[in-house]
Amino acid sequence: MIKETQTKVKNFLSLVKFSHTIFAMPFAFIGYFLALYQTNANFEWKLLGLIVLCMIFARNAAMAFNRFVDREIDNKNPRTAVREIPSGIIKAKSALIFVIVNALLFILTTYFINKITFILSPVALFIILGYSITKKFTAICHLILGLGLSLAPIGAYLAVTGTFDVLPILYSFVVLFWVSGFDIIYALQDLNFDKEEQLKSFPVFFGRKGALSASILLHFLSAIIVIIAGVIAGFGLMYWLGSIIFIILLIYQHLLVKPNDLSRVNLAFFTTNGIASIIFAVFTITELVFDIWIL
């Protein structure tokens, strides 16, 4: 019984690609510590824990819903036919129940944070769940995905302060352009399949070269906003070191992927961006914690 339960848990973690939480979670931590930096709020493990739970529940719901909606498409695509639903490891009905449970847990968790996060929780769910159907009618689906993940820093900031502010909004734009850019790179793998199924994406609309150019532009915008945020906040050495490494890794992933060579897409997509997110967060939070301690 225990072994069977462990297998089910492992399957659902695989369904939602739990390891990919590494992309947005560090920016939620940035939003949390930025709120402490800009206000007189005290560090609270309970609140931080609630923020982490919100991130997990929201992402679980979004990823499982995406797999549920795409189950027929995934079954046709040789690259994705091995996923849990098309391969029969997890039933579609079970995946949908998983979505509903996590969505409800997300809303319930926001209730214990503050009024504004609770009121806005359905809006957040609408955005992150809505991405799953956008690829059927618009090529800007990558931007919708980026928008969903971009809620991490501003959501965490709201959890502490209950108000909006310029800096967390800027970091949300960093995430928006960064995620949209690397999702375009990832979508290159399915260019031919997406054309056959009449699905929408930047690679389908612009072609490989055009899509890569669009990805470069989005990552350029992300890098510019990282710099603007640092200047506005008046951050010091640690922040700028983290920013330099983050920008270098953005450039590096574009050196890995060429229009005629997609063999290193996974390295560019997961490894490089995962490292970039963690490093930027560690250096930024170190800067924030140091300034809070000094103040």
- Give the model confidence (pLDDT) of 263-283 as tens digits: 888 777 778 898 999 999 999
How far is C-alpha 196 from the geometric centre of its chain's CA atoms? 28
Is the sign of the CA dihedral 225, 228, 232, 234 positive or negative?
positive
How many structural domains are present in the chain?
Answer: 1
Helix, strand, or coil (residue 281): helix
Residue 108's domain spans which residues?
Answer: 2-294
Identity of the amino acid at 157:
Y
Low pLDDT (below 50) residues in the chain: none
Asked if 12 contacts 56 with a C-beta cutoff of 8 angstroms, the reply is no
pTM comes to 0.94
Nearest-angstrom CA–CA distance, 53 and 59: 10
- Alpha helix segments (H runs only) across the chain: 2-15, 25-38, 45-69, 71-76, 92-111, 115-134, 141-149, 151-161, 166-187, 191-196, 202-233, 237-256, 265-266, 273-294
Length of the chain (residues): 295
DSSP 138: -
Nearest-angstrom CA–CA distance, 242 and 248: 10
DSSP 292: H
Nearest-angstrom CA–CA distance, 238 and 235: 8
CB atoms within 10 A of CB 136: 14
What crossing angle do the helices spanning 273-294 and 237-256 adopt, rounded to 10°? 170
Is the sign of the CA dihedral 178, 150, 198, 85 positive or negative?
positive
Nearest-angstrom CA–CA distance, 129 and 145: 9
Asked if 27 contacts 277 with a C-beta cutoff of 8 angstroms, the reply is yes
Kindly report the CA angle at 65 between 59 and 68, in degrees rounded to 5?
145
Nearest-angstrom CA–CA distance, 150 and 169: 9
Identify the burial level of 3 via C-beta atoms within 10 angstroms of its C-beta, where 0-12 means exposed, 13-18 middle and 19 or more buried: exposed
End-to-end CA distance of the chain: 54
CATH of the domain at 252: 1.10.357.140
